[in-house]
Structure 1
Amino acid sequence: MSRVRVLIADDHPQMLAAMVHVVASDERFTVVGTATNGDDALQLAREHDVDVALLDVRMPGGGPSAVTAFHSLPSPPAVVAVSAETTVSTVAAMVRAGAVGYLTKGRIGETLPEVLAQCAAGEVVLATGSGAGALRLLVDG
């Protein structure tokens, strides 16, 4: 079975290093690139065959516009948002833009590999306490 190719983008060096460590330590994944802003992440996704892009919501060039830009690629990766920001409106905005996953930064060590694996397999995973509220907001409009 081939490994899931993951691109990781976060503007905080310690968080980026932690996510790279967690992902690279799992034999299901290969980290194909890292970036500290949305523009560099998008460029790396153009250059590499990326299955999943793990994107910080609040980094420069991040947020819903970054997710939308990833969906313009010929073979768009599954986008998983990661953030300390867990408001219903933020989660809903990322899902509305096309993110298939949302993970609270405080849960990186315990859930990141499973969230990535599930999203790579086509599932939607909102691993944040506000996920249900975000879905209600999206459904109710």
Structure 2
Amino acid sequence: VDNWGRRKLLLFGPFLQTLSMAIITFGATGLPLRFVGLVTVVSFSVFVVSFSAGLGAVTWLYLSEIYPMEIRGSALSACGVINWLSCFSVVFGTRFLSLHSACHLFGTISGVGLLGVYLWVVETSGCNMDDSPLTPRS
């Protein structure tokens, strides 16, 4: 994480997630039937690996670095609650979607997340742990 930087990993993960879901949603329809299964399995594998390397690993490190010490505990608790509520929604919501619809939804959400990371995430590598890089300096 320190070699690549948090921002690069947070951009790299959602980019590959969006790409893999787009391949399943749009790309697999024009392939010969004998390749559809292989492309789908590889795309899902890329999705899982890119999530693990990007959003899954770096998010909690990044969140612990951006909040000032005074509110860090409460802020991370709130982030944990939001994370679990999101996971709950995904687990119970996807059962009502087809594979195509679920991949389209996850790809869209990953793409919006990629845009959000690009616009609003600052690099925190090398910053002092006591000071948030988002806190205004006096």
Normalised by the shorter chain, which TM-score bucket? under 0.3
Higher relative contact order (CA 8 A, sep 6+): 2
Return the structure number with greater helix share: 2
Which has the higher Rg, Structure 1 or Structure 2? 2
TM-score computed with the length of structure 1 as normaliser? 0.25
Return the structure number with greater strand share: 1
